[in-house]
A = this chain, B = another copy of it.
């Protein structure tokens, strides 16, 4: 029976290996050719839906005053739109556009193509075993 320490260490190693050999989200977002903070805002909106500026700032640890130029640039680029809340006229909500989705879709495709290239170096048997283990991990992680 592996002890918890050992498993923890292996999971730590797995993360480092995956991030080195496949991709890490930080390097990935840099490939969008927009500042990292802008990319994080788009990523947040795509995964969480429209949100007030203060909420985005709080969740992403970006200071509220800096949100103004960030949103300005994203509006300029056609990646988000501003609209007032119906319930509180102080609140401005931000919503991502189809344009933003397209940006991330193409990034996802590039990444997956690169992963696929690397997986091809495994034999069929190895790949099958790899796939089963992958499914087990994904299921366990859902329970955490």
**Once the chains bind, are B122 and A129 in contact (CB under 8 Å)?**
no
**A23 — nearest CB in chain B belongs to which residue?**
B15
Q: How many residues of chain A have a CB within 8 Å of chain B?
A: 51
**A26-B25, A131-B10, A135-B10 are known contacts. Are A17 and B141 too (CB-CB below 8 A)?**
yes
Smallest CB-CB separation from A140: which chain B residue? B130
Are B135 and A129 within 8 A (Cβ)?
no
Closest B residue, CB atoms, query A127? B7
Taking the full assembly, how many copies of this chain does it contain?
A: 2
Q: Which residues of B contact A13 (CB under 8 A)?
A: 138
Q: In the complex where A137-B137, A143-B121 touch, is A19 in contact with B24 (Cβ < 8 A)?
A: yes
Residues of chain B with a CB closer than 8 A to A4's CB: 116, 119-120, 127
Give Cα A9 to B10, complex, Å. Answer: 22
Specify which chain B residues have a CB less than 8 angstroms from the CB of A143 in the assembled complex. Answer: 121-122, 126
Bound: A121/B141 CA distance, A: 10
With A8-B112, A128-B1 as contacts: A14 and B121 at CB distance below 8 Å: no
A→B interface (CB under 8 Å):
1-2, 4-19, 21-26, 108, 111-112, 115-116, 118-122, 126-138, 140-141, 143-144
